[in-house]
């Protein structure tokens, strides 16, 4: 009889992600190609392991006023209650109401990437989001206020020495509320999270990819369900 081990399974999960990211770094010469390969590793992980109510893709985010975000490497969005997904020539467009989280995925984290990810996050959080009352068997439930959109960074390595030291924490402090990065994974070293007390906590650990995935799922659970999108508002804009 096979003896299963949860610690071994979690360890192998992380090592698989780390190996794929390292292979992209070592085997591919062009920086853009490396970045695309790294992004794909993270997307495939999230597509495979997040609960099916969530989808992860590279996309622009749009609101009902016709305002678009910049292109985001990884958008985690709702597919159970959000019907409005556009695809054209390999480009995907996601409605602002459906977005739970956005991440920038690169090979290496540094001050420039942190600043870039913060500005990308702000272009999504600044979009208008509609919300309608929700019909149930017991009547209408009041419209839900659109919640906080998570934002963060996904990388393999760090340019800083130490990789998870004060330089990272200081870079994370620079953003305002719209730019705040809530969580991130540096697969070769550890993770970081934003806590309720208003501080970034950096956690060196042996299975960063595993820890990040489980923390992301927990935070998605805390967000519950996205607001009910007002589809007619898009028609009114058009």
Our answer to whether residue 16 is catalytic in this structure is no
In whole angstroms, how far apart are CA 195 and each of 22, 40, 100, 192? 30, 28, 17, 10
Please say if 222 is a catalytic residue: no
Residue entry with tokens 């990789």: 163
- Rounded to whole angstroms, the Cα distance separating 163 from 185 reads 12
Around Cβ 26, how many Cβ atoms within 10 Å?
Answer: 8
Whole-angstrom Cα distance, residue 155 to residue 108?
5
* Among the listed residues 168, 41, 147, 48, the one whose alpha carbon sits nearest the alpha carbon of residue 101: 147
Tell me which H or E stretch contains 105.
strand 99-105
Ramachandran area for residue 233 (φ above 0: left; ψ -120 to 50: alpha; else beta): alpha
- Catalytic residue of the set 39, 78, 104, 157: 104
State the DSSP H helix or E strand holding residue 190, giving kind and residue range, or none if neither: strand 190-194
104 an active-site residue? Answer: yes
User: Exactly one of 106, 120, 179, 207 is catalytic; which is it?
Assistant: 106
The residues annotated with a catalytic role in the active site are: 73, 104, 106
């Amino acid at each position: 009889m096979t003896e299963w081990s949860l610690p071994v399974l979690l360890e192998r999960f992380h090592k698989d992600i780390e190996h794929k990211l390292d292979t992209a770094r070592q085997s591919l010469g062009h920086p853009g190609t490396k970045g695309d390969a790294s992004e794909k590793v993270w997307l495939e992980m999230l597509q495979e392991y997040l609960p099916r109510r969530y989808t992860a893709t590279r996309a622009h985010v749009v609101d009902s006023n016709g305002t678009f975000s910049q292109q985001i490497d990884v958008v985690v969005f709702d597919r159970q209650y959000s019907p409005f997904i556009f695809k054209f020539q390999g480009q995907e467009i996601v409605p602002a109401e459906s977005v739970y989280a956005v991440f920038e995925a690169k090979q290496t984290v540094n001050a420039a990437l942190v600043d870039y990810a913060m500005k990308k996050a702000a272009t999504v959080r600044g979009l208008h989001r509609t919300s309608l009352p929700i019909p149930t068997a017991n009547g209408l439930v009041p419209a839900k206020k659109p919640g906080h959109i998570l934002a963060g960074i996904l990388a393999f390595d760090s340019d800083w020495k130490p990789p998870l030291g004060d330089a990272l924490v200081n870079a994370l402090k620079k953003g305002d509320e719209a730019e705040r990065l809530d969580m991130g994974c540096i697969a070769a070293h550890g993770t970081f999270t934003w806590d309720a007390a208003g501080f970034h906590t950096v956690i060196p650990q042996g299975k960063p990819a595993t820890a990040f995935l489980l923390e992301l799922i927990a935070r998605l659970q805390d967000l519950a369900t996205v607001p009910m999108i007002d589809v007619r508002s898009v028609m009114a804009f058009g």
